[in-house]
Structure 1
Amino acid sequence: MSATPEPSAARRVAVLAGRVGADEKRLFDAFERRNVPYEQVDPRRLWFPSRREGPPWRLALNREIGQVRAVYAARSLAAAGVDVVNSAGATEVCGDKWLTTLALEAAGVPTPRTALGLTPQAALDALDAVGYPAVIKPLVGSWGRLVVELPDRAAAEGVLQYAGALPGPQSHLGYVQERIDKPDRDIRVIVVGGQVVGAVYRVGEALRTNVALGGRALPCPVTPEIEKLSLASAAAVGADIAGVDLVEDRDGRLFVLEVNHRVEFSGFQAALGDRVSVADRVLDHLLERGRP
C-alpha cells in the first residue's frame, strides 16, 4: 500500500476518499466528536502487493468517487482482511445501472421497463419494445449527467448516432428505460445497516431532480411501502449503506430507479435537520460491524 501503517493503524477506521466534500467533513466531525480513531486515505495513492500482508485497518468506509478505483480498492482491502463498507460486490453492482436493474428485477422490486442494447441499432430496437417517451442513460454515471429524454424514434436515432461515434465500446451500449409520467419530484431514501434513516422528495424541473444539479430536497414521510421497497433494494444489491431512488407515477405506484453505494447526503440532511444525523447513523453501523 502507499505506506506501511503504524501498529496502531489497524485499530482505526480508514475512510477512503480522494475528494473531501461536505459529506466527508460531516463524517469526520462525527468520528472526532465521538472519539473514534479514523484515518482519511486517498485511494489515488494506494498500491497493493499481490502477496497478502497483515490488514492495515480493521474497517474501511469506501467513499471513493472514482468507480473503478472504488471497486479495486474494496477488493484489494478485503483480500488483505479488511472489512470494507460497502463491499466490492455492492459497489460494482450499484455503479453499473444494468447490473443494478438485473439485481432489482431478480429480487422482485418494481422498476420501469428497461432494456440494454449492445449496439446503437440494437438499442433502437429495444426502444421500440420499451416504448416512447423513454430515456437513455450512461451505464456508469451520477448526478443525472448524460441522461437524455427521447420523445420519439427520430430523437433516439440522433442520440444513438452520436453515441456510436464516441470512442470506447461502453459508449456504444444503450441502457434505455421507459419514461415514467411522474410529478416534478422523485424520492431519495437512505438505508444504513438494514434500517431506513429517512426520506426526502427531490424537487426539480423536468427529468432531473438531483440536488447536485439544483434540485431542492424536502421532507418525505416514510410510508410502509417506501420502507419495504428501500430495504428490499439495498438488500438486492448487497449494500450496507445505500441511497435508493424511487419515482411515483400519476397513480401513486412506486418504482425503484437505482441504488447508490456512495451516498451524498448534504441536501438530505438539510431537509431533515436535527431529526436525524446520517453521519452518526453511518458511524453507529461501522462500530457495530467492528465489534469482536
Structure 2
Amino acid sequence: MLKKAADDRGISCRFVDIRGIAWPGGLDVSEGDVALCRCVSHGHNLAIAKLMESRGVRTVNHSSVMEACGDKVITASILDVAGIPQPEYRVAFSQEEAVNAAESLGYPVVFKPPVGSWGRLISKVNDKDCAESLVEHKSFMGPNHGTFFIQEYVEKPGYDVRALVVGGKPISAIKRASSHWITNTARGAEAQSIPLDDSLTDVLSSVYKAFGGDLLAVDLFQNGNSWSVNEVNGQAEFHGSVEGSGVDVAGAIISHCKSLMEGDK
C-alpha cells in the first residue's frame, strides 16, 4: 500500500527489510534523509531508528515517540501528566503487589504486558485465584514480564475506536466491533467507519500535543460524548482503518514523509 502510494505520487523511495542487513554497512543513509520505520518488531524498529538518527536521518516516528508509545507504563504516565482521561490502572513490581493492585481496582481487571501488540498476552482476570495464578506464570516468562501493568476492565458497547493521526491531523476513525472483549482487527474484529466529530478530534489533538509523533494510532473507549484513551500506538498497522473508513492512509503517510524531505523536519 505504501509503495503504491509512493508510485502514484512519483515519489522515489527504497524498501529495505533490515533482517537482511547489518548496521552500518548494509543500509545506505545520509544526513537529511527521511526513513519510515515499519518493522514488525518493536525492538527492531526502535534500534534501527536510533541508529539512523545518529547519522542525521529524520525517522518516522522518532525513536522517542516509539519508546513512549511502545511501553504501556510510559504511555499511561504521559496521559496522566497531560490530564487525558484513561482507564484506571496500577503498576506493580512483585507478584504480591500485583495481586493487591488487582484487588484494589476491583475485578474484573486486565493484565497487559508493558510491551506488546495485537492483543497478545493480555488477560481478563475475574478473581483473586486467577490473579495469583497469572502473576506466578508471568514471573517465569522473563524480565520483560516482571513489571505488572493492570488496568480496570471497561465494559464496551461491543466496540472500541481506533483513530489515526498523521502529521498532527486526525485523518480517520473506525469502530472495531467484536463479540469478544478483545477488539483488535488483528484478532478478527469488524471495522466500521465513525465520524471524526469535535469531541473525538479534541481528544486526539490533546494526545498529539502530549506525544508528538508523525503517525499515531489512538485506541479509545466511548461513553456518550466523552472519551478515554486506552492505548497509543506509534507503529500501527492500518489495513483495518482503510477498510473501515475508506481513507487513503498510505497516501497520507507518504505525503507527510515527502513534506519532511522538503524541509518541515
Q: TM-score range by the shorter chain?
A: over 0.9
Aligned counterpart, 1:43: 18
Q: Is 1:279 the equivalent of 2:250?
A: yes
Runs (5+) with no aligned partner, structure 1: 1-25
The answer as to whether partners of 2:199 and 2:226 remain within 8 angstroms in 1 is no
Shift of 1:285: 0.9
Aligned counterpart, 2:102: 127
The answer as to whether partners of 1:89 and 1:238 remain within 8 angstroms in 2 is no
Shift of 1:46: 3.9
For 1:121 and 1:60, how far apart are their aligned partners in 2?
44
Shift of 1:107: 1.0
Structure 1 residues 199-214: aligned runs within 5 Å: 199-214=173-188
Shift of 1:27: 0.5
Aligned counterpart, 2:153: 179
The answer as to whether partners of 1:234 and 1:244 remain within 8 angstroms in 2 is no
Tell which has more relative contact order, 1 or 2 (C-alpha 8 A, sep 6+).
Answer: 2
Shift of 1:49: 4.9
Q: Is 1:189 the equivalent of 2:189?
A: no
For 2:98 and 2:2, how far apart are their aligned partners in 1?
41
For 2:29 and 2:186, how far apart are their aligned partners in 1?
39
For 1:227 and 1:242, how far apart are their aligned partners in 2?
13
Residue identity in the other structure for 1:172 = G
Aligned counterpart, 1:234: 208
The answer as to whether partners of 2:194 and 2:245 remain within 8 angstroms in 1 is no
TM-score calculated relative to the size of structure 2 = 0.93
Q: Deviations over 1:231-250 (max 9, x none)?
A: 2223322221011000124x
Instruction: Report SS of the residue matched to 1:94.
Output: helix
Residues 100 and 27 of structure 1: CA distance in aligned 2, closer, same or farther (over 3 Å): same
For 2:196 and 2:149, how far apart are their aligned partners in 1?
30
Q: Which moved more, 1:103-112 or 1:186-195?
A: 103-112
Aligned counterpart, 1:73: 48
Structure 1 residues 105-120: aligned runs within 5 Å: 105-120=80-95
Q: Deviations over 1:153-186 (max 9, x none)?
A: 22211211211233x1222221100011221100
Q: Deviations over 1:190-220 (max 9, x none)?
A: 0000101010000012321111111000011
Pairing partner for 2:192 from 196, 208, 218: 218
For 2:29 and 2:92, how far apart are their aligned partners in 1?
44
Aligned counterpart, 1:20: none
Residue identity in the other structure for 1:272 = S
Percent identity of equivalent pairs: 31
Aligned counterpart, 1:13: none
Instruction: Report SS of the residue matched to 2:171.
Output: strand
Q: Deviations over 1:3-23 (max 9, x none)?
A: xxxxxxxxxxxxxxxxxxxxx
Q: Is 1:158 the equivalent of 2:133?
A: yes
Q: Deviations over 1:57-98 (max 9, x none)?
A: 711001111111111111110110111010000111111111
The answer as to whether partners of 1:120 and 1:173 remain within 8 angstroms in 2 is no
The answer as to whether partners of 1:243 and 1:260 remain within 8 angstroms in 2 is yes
Q: Is 1:263 the equivalent of 2:221?
A: no
Aligned length: 261
Aligned counterpart, 2:262: 291
Pairing partner for 2:70 from 83, 95, 106: 95
Q: Deviations over 1:94-133 (max 9, x none)?
A: 1111111111111111011111111121211211222222
TM-score calculated relative to the size of structure 1 = 0.85
Instruction: Report SS of the residue matched to 2:14.
Output: strand
Residues 277 and 39 of structure 1: CA distance in aligned 2, closer, same or farther (over 3 Å): same
Residue identity in the other structure for 1:281 = A
For 1:213 and 1:254, how far apart are their aligned partners in 2?
23
